Amino acid sequence: MDKIEDTLKQLETRIQDIQSQKLRQVEFDKESKQRFQNNLNAFEKYFPKLHSQIKNYKPRNDFKVIASPSGYGNFIPSDSKIPLYGDNPYEQSEEQVKRYTESASFGRSELYSTVNEGTKSDKRLHVKYMVDLAQNFIDANLSHEKKLTSLPEHYPTCMMFGVGLGYAVSILVERYSFDYVFICEPDFESFYASLFCTDWVSILEKSDVQSGCLFLQVGVTYETFFDELKYIVDNFGPSSLISSFCYQHTPGKQINALIEEFFEQFSLLQLGYGFYNDAVTGLAHTIENVNENHCPVLLPEEAKKTGFKDLTAYVVANGPSLDEAIEVLKENQDNVIIFAAGTALNTLIKIGIKPDFHVLVERPKTTYDYLVETIDLAKLQDLNLLAVDVMYPEVPPLYKWSGISLKGPEAGSLLSQNTFYTTQHRFLPALPNCGPLVANTALSFAATFGFGEIYLFGVDNGYPITGPTHSKFSIYNEEDHNEAFTINTSGATHRLEGNLGGEVRALSLMVQAKQQMESLIKNTPKTQYYNVGAGAKIKKATPLEAEDVLNTPHIRDKREVVEKIKTEFFTEMHFSEPEKLVGIEEFESLCDYLIEIAERPYSTRKEASDLLKAQSRVVYAYRGRKYGHLYHVMKGSMLYFHCPLISLLYLYADEEKTLQWFETSLNIWKDCIKAMKKDYRTAWNKRCDYSLEMETMQRQLNGEI
């Protein structure tokens, strides 16, 4: 009898639970339907593209957001048999937020702890003040200070991987403030379910009111995610990511891959800012190359109209894999257009091959010094040069013909674009993906000229795990070579997948070079790319052994192709009254405003951080304006200071001490701005004087050679 009563009670309880669940579900469905509509309206206002994706999304037939016993929504993803949460999703999310914020995971850069003797000897304005900043950190003796381990009330950036049903996002945004919030959810279905559960309206409105920046990436691969991150870095600066609170809300292979890739790429996002001296000498070089050297400027749109879709180009760099392809180059040299990247020219000359174009990219005087020291200048007089606008001005006259492209993003390139548009009412694009290495520049020229096939030889983007760093014919392997040509590979700590298997080791610049090549190839799908030899693998470039390269059909008149490039793809331009164009008074006014901002009072980390953000927004506001080139003049050095200053503000636990260190560091940045203001009046018209001799001395002081 007792057993029957127990069974009846269990059935009664179960029936009551089912009835309660039905009532909860009815109530939840009623509330969630309205919540979904409110969220949809908010996304239409703040994220119209995502709103369109939501409206067009068709959930699976059995899609259902379940009312949990606590009344909050729960959900079973399509690849799972169990719900995302337990009985109380909100409480569970609260506990997770508490755990993650009390013992926080940060992506951030350490401060300078050493200064190389060679760097100290560098007299360039930017370098001088960066040395002062680094020395200030060293003198403060910060190594024993306790670091911040829990999330403070305000932090520069939140990097959130996986939103689940959005509860954790809501809690974080309610309790903490951020300048930037990056949210990535690879699973669109889960995000769609969150619209029934979380008040996204409040999240979006709060971000808008606080002048914060919320970036949502939903249903994306990690490649797309990092493309977007790079775009954001370009538009807001790397300081938007330099101090990131990293939060993984939901587990999963996709999320784990994103996080792993983020930390792998974190340091790469902090490279390539440029700096004041580079920008100013680039400006001077561009003006001289156009006005004095009369170098014609590339019109990429003209090249695209005709192009050479039936012809083949060889882009030749100086990696060790080049040695395997010597015979291929010799056999096909009369049937292809050859672009020699940088020092590959020396190698090609040694093996008896005359390239159709030599390609150079570096702006310092070292480029000129290298040519004078390593090549018979009479040979250059029979060669064509392709370079970028910032090229050292003594280089183009060494060649039979020299054409330049806009390098972009550069101060000189912006000045050229504004001038070209004003005088010819046409937009003049920069050469796409043409850095950071000269092989990128050569590949970009070949792609822009519209060749149907492009083969890459010696474009290794890395060094063999063991073995030579360059072709055996390279100047780097000559017994009596200049010490400045000694290769230091100690920084090649990255590992990249090999083109023909295995791995290569790479410097950060090489990783960037590979990424830029992949981006260029992705954006030129009508061209077939072949990567020859055992360098780093390049996505969408067919890997080939040198022995598998087929002979190319004969070109009827190779000289005709070269002349067409020189005469039809380039145009003349001129800077009238360049002293007025460069905006001396405007730059001085900008410097004064930045100094005024830096002198505003502050008493908290956030207020100090807001000063830097205010400076950044003033500089970034110059883009697209009359003196847009000043953005590039100031941006690089500003970022080189802002990034460590922001790291400093949120690196140590003691806020009072932190603000003292910040004050002395900020004063160095103010001194740097004052020095730039004084220098610009004359520097805009001066060539770079960074010579081979200076580079050799600095490398010797650093113990590199």
pLDDT digit string, tens, across residues 466-482: 766 656 655 555 455 45
Strands, sheet with 243-248, edge to edge from the N-terminal-most edge strand = 105-108, 243-248, 154-161, 177-185, 213-218
In a 13 Å sphere around the CA of 518, the CA atoms on its Cβ side amount to 14
- Predicted local distance difference test score (pLDDT) of residue 167: 95
Find the mean pLDDT for residues 684-689. Answer: 92
Instruction: Tell me the backbone φ, ψ of residue 310, rounded to 5 degrees.
Output: -95, 0
Could you identify the residue written with the tokens 């008493």? 603
* Contact by Cβ (8 Å): 124, 636: no
What is the rounded distance in angstroms from the CA atom of residue 537 to the CA atom of residue 462?
Answer: 10
Give 198 or 81, the one with higher predicted confidence. Answer: 198
Q: Which residues of 598-634 are buried (b: 16+ CB within 10 A; e: fewer)?
A: beeebeebbebbbbbbebbebbeebeeeebbbbbbbb
Give per-residue pLDDT as tens, 583-624.
999 999 999 999 999 999 999 999 999 999 999 999 999 998
| Contact call for residues 573 and 422 (beta carbons, < 8 A) | no
Element at 159 (helix H, strand E) = strand 154-161
pLDDT at 106 over 90: no
* pLDDT (tens digit per residue) in 279-335: 999 999 999 999 999 999 999 988 878 779 999 999 999 999 999 999 999 999 999
Task: Give the architecture (CATH level 2) of 295-571.
Answer: Alpha-Beta Complex (3.90)
pLDDT digits (tens, 9 = 90+) for 625-636: 899 999 999 999
Q: Is residue 328 within 8 Å of residue 335, measured between CB atoms?
A: no
Q: pLDDT, tens digit, for every residue of 108-126? A: 777 777 777 767 778 899 9
Q: Is the peptide bond before 409 cis (omega within 30 degrees of 0)?
A: yes
**β strands within 297-400, DSSP E:** 297-298, 308-316, 337-341, 357-359, 384-388
Compute the distance between CA of residue 644 and CA of residue 666 in angstroms, rounded to an integer: 11
Residues 6+ apart with CB under 8 A from 556: none
The fraction of the chain above a pLDDT of 70, given in percent, is 88
Residue 577 neighbours by CB distance under 10 Å: 7
Query: pLDDT category, 699, cuts 50, 70, 90?
Result: low
Closest CA to 407 of 368, 448, 435: 435
> Which pLDDT does position 263 carry in this prediction?
67
d(C-alpha 689, C-alpha 686), whole Å:
9
Give the number of other Cβ atoms within 10 Å of residue 272's Cβ.
Answer: 16
What single-letter DSSP state applies at residue 599?
A: T
- Lowest mean pLDDT: which of 134-138, 162-166, 189-193, 689-693? 689-693
Predicted pLDDT at 257: 72
Residue 534 structure tokens: 């055992």
Residue 537: both structure tokens together: 């693998």
Q: E strands within 162-257?
A: 177-185, 213-218, 243-248
Q: What is the pLDDT of residue 166?
A: 94
Residue tagged 């020092």 (tokens): 343
Tokens 């995000």 sit at which residue? Answer: 191
In the structure encoding, which two tokens stand for residue 257, read together?
């891959």
d(CA 489, CA 511): 14
335 touches 481 (CB < 8 A):
no
What backbone phi and psi angles, to 5 degrees, belong to 406? -75, 130
Q: What is the chain's mean pLDDT, rounded? A: 88
Please state the pTM of the whole predicted model.
Answer: 0.87
- Domain range list for the chain: 5-270, 295-571, 576-683
Tokens representing 240? 């938007």
First to last CA, the chain: 94
Find the Cα–Cα–Cα–Cα dihedral 331, 333, 336, 337, rounded to 10°.
Answer: 160
Q: Predicted confidence band at 208 (pLDDT cuts at 50, 70, 90)? A: confident
pLDDT tens per residue across span 404-413: 999 988 999 9
pLDDT, residue 680, reads 98
Q: Output the CA angle 476-482-485, nearest 5 degrees.
A: 40
pLDDT of residue 14: 63
Tell how far CA 325 is from the center of its chain: 32
Total residue length of the chain: 705
Q: Which of 75, 78, 76, 37 is nearest to 54 (CA)?
A: 37
For residue 488 the two structure tokens come to: 């230091």
Q: Which of 467-471, 472-476, 510-514, 690-694 has the highest mean pLDDT?
A: 510-514
Quick check: 330 and 353 in contact, CB under 8 A?
yes
Q: How far apart are CA 357 and CA 683, in angstroms?
A: 32
Residue pair 548/533 in contact (Cβ under 8 Å)? The answer is no
**pLDDT of 485 strictly over 60:** no
CA distance 449 to 309: 9
How far, CA to CA in Å, does 534 sit from each of 472, 488, 496, 512, 514?
15, 21, 12, 18, 14
